Amino acid sequence: MAKCLVLLFLCLVMVSINVANTMNETCVDDISIVLQIDLYKNSCPEAESIIYSWVENAVSQDSRMAASLLRLHFHDCFVNGCDGSVLLDDTEDFTGEKTALPNLNSLRGFEVIDAIKSELESVCPQTVSCADILATAARDSVVISGGPSWEVEMGRKDSLGASKEAATNNIPGPNSTVPILVAKFQNVGLSFNDMIALSGAHTLGMARCSTFSSRLQGSNGPDIDLDFLQNLQQLCSQTDGNSRLARLDLVSPATFDNQYYINLLSGEGLLPSDQALVTDDYQTRQLVLSYAEDPLAFFEDFKNSMLKMGSLGVLTGTDGQIRGNCRVVN
């Protein structure tokens, strides 16, 4: 009898260890929220491969799409948590987040998410949430672009609403100062270090001239590269200049690497909010230096910060729903 009890105890210990290794418990206001690795292993085993395939195809057709899908996840999580609210379309009696200033004529990739959701619904209906699709597509975009991989923790539910006001106020703008950046990241539960690491996402993608117009004035201090400035001025002075696109990273715009930080030290940060990390604050400059010197340290910190961001304000259990169509509430 005693031997059986010992064996039972050992079995329970092993089960608890295995569960702990696949689940991340985040406490928000003393409420435990559990996200789980391999959540869809039994209910939708093809989920991650389906998402990866669509992201890989989209990025192969348009290298900018990697940055766009990564950005969708950012803009979702910064507004009331990672709940898929950014995907909701406006209706006659509902205003979503797509027309908020940081998102309007800027966010892309909605059709890719639609395609992923459509296939998932045909394979395993009402199983994989739109919020989980966003988190996974963001990871896959980084991996496909040469960046680090991580196990995406699943279990998010989709929101029943959205907030244009929160999208307008919470998402950091391209002209943000360091204090504003720090405050906006801290407001959602992300640290100073998270802010520097996650800013490295700007190693991918492009931005319109209208978002960095203050960089074109020539009054950017001694750190700006003059050739870089002149090239930007030439690009943005053309007809339809405000809508012209410039690469956030001139050297390797389609590769996820640490070149973004090297560019900042050379005075070639495209957005004012990027260059401010070097020019306006000693602490941020030191972290930029460390990431410029050590790409593996950047990769590790970026991965950890993405996991942290991905768990912000998530809806689980009986909260929220799993939308059949990511653009509308069921």
Summarize the confidence of residues 99-116 as an average pLDDT. 95
pLDDT single digits (tens) 227-254: 888 888 888 988 776 788 999 998 999 9
pLDDT at 90: 94
* Inter-residue contact 248 to 270 (CB < 8 Å): yes
Name the average pLDDT for the chain. Answer: 89
CB atoms within 10 A of CB 10: 10
pLDDT at 12: 46
The residue from 64, 71, 73, 75 that is catalytic is 75
73 has catalytic annotation: no
Nearby residues of 183 by Cβ (< 8 Å), 6 or more positions away: none
Summarize the confidence of residues 10-19 as an average pLDDT. 44
Long-range Cβ pairs for the range 23-27 (8 Å, 24+): 23/153, 24/153, 24/307, 24/311, 26/311, 26/314
pLDDT single digits (tens) 147-198: 999 999 999 999 999 999 999 999 999 999 999 999 999 999 999 999 999 9
Rounded CA-CA distance 123/46 in Å is: 8
pLDDT at 78: 97
pLDDT at 30: 38
Higher-confidence residue: 43 or 241? Answer: 43
pLDDT single digits (tens) 308-325: 999 999 999 899 999 999
281 is in an annotated binding site: no
Summarize the confidence of residues 285-299 as an average pLDDT. 97
Rounded CA-CA distance 42/79 in Å is: 31
pLDDT at 217: 75
Amino acid at 38: D
pTM: 0.88
pLDDT at 223: 65
177 is in an annotated binding site: no
Domains (range + CATH), the chain: 46-311 (1.10.420.10)
Q: Residue 102's closest CA among 196, 207, 244? A: 207
97 is in an annotated binding site: yes
